Structure 1
């Protein structure tokens, strides 16, 4: 079996069958290239790769002190690759199938409270065109729980503000409808009408919502810098990024009593498990749930007795 030809077919499979993003495709191909290099070093043909080979490969990789998360992602990539070989090349087995990923201790990302979000927004100078745009950006990040990649790719044709929804193109080009609140609508309309509407815009960016001063699509890096500058301005020492607003969006919804499935849909997660990890529920909220709903709590017993 020819590695180069197979990798080309695998890439097309990931693009057409799995509909993955370019970044994800590059990650999968990088995993396969690592295995290819190892097999070349050990003089093992692809046909001869078995479970023991994969195990030895993972031990070899581990000697380079890669993180458990990277190991888990690598193993997941190899499982997908050999599954592809079963489908397209009639390979009989998947040698990576029965191997378990290392346990991951997922850290809950930093979350902002309402006061911190208000302080960041208040620090924006809305007397400038960039400030008006940045206010709309923060309102969208926190009000809709968008990924930064989804924010910068947001299209005017996907805004349905009259019915308070936007259409978001997420990972793998998967589309979802996300509700948008009145505050976000207010500042988005101000930006669109008073700032963007008066800008010279290049034709290829005519449908993109957020632009820089030269009329081009705003970059992800620029959004990071905007948020970092605001955090520095108010003396916020927490680690903060655009992702922090997404996590805060989900966390505050759950703490307010939102259904986890609804939050999952709004975030665009395929698995509810991802949403459970993503959302942070504080102890006060958990205590209030127990107090309100548990049959042995004093409040519940009092209701029944009365």
Structure 2
């Protein structure tokens, strides 16, 4: 028997039993050992990490990264909008509407590819501008057959390519709008191509052909009205583009049904305004502070601004 006292540390193996013989070989501790015995002599951790301490002090850090806990405006003139822990300039949020065909309130997307919205809007604007001048009888023009080329290649094929590109960028609104209007232009051009035989089938029955074209224009007016509803939380120019386009389709449909040239001219005038609005939204997607001294100034709709103000006031009341 030894006279020295056996000391037990937190990191040593448990003492041998007194019944064990002194000359018996010492038992090597098992790499794993008995869990209950190891827990008796394992040191207890009394400190916490800095991240755990910060999470206890700020419960918002425990939320998932994709969860928005709070929406509020900041700045001297409320020029910033905070979504959870992310802060954006309000102007950057609004610029995403017309230039990228994004109808929802969201930060400007970071594209893996180029932004196709200006291309599709430019194709739509140029073709609409040309046909609208013909409908308005500018310079005495009345025969619309010259629009076949631009309608097929620029307003049709190019716009559909831009729409498919929007779908690849996960922009459902932009892809639906551009592909639909691109298909409209190609369908409209097919009426004036003799190879399709559309006009020849109604030879001597021009009024019936006008009614059928009016049905197609009315269908596009209804579709555009539905698109317009999806832009009511966007900017003024973005909303006016589709709202006036729906009016244009409606006026042209009425003109085909009634045969009144005054209504057709009114549709042409409104169509010219629509073309300039499309060019403006295309310019908003092209012009940046890096490549232009002039950039589009987004004007939010009153309903959109009211919604942001209401959300901000509600969050402030909850925080107080």
TM-score bracket for the superposition, by shorter chain length: under 0.3
Give the TM-score of the pair, scaled to structure 2.
0.23
Which is bigger in relative contact order (C-alpha 8 A, separation at least 6)?
A: 2
Give the TM-score of the pair, scaled to structure 1.
0.24
The structure that has the greater radius of gyration is: 2
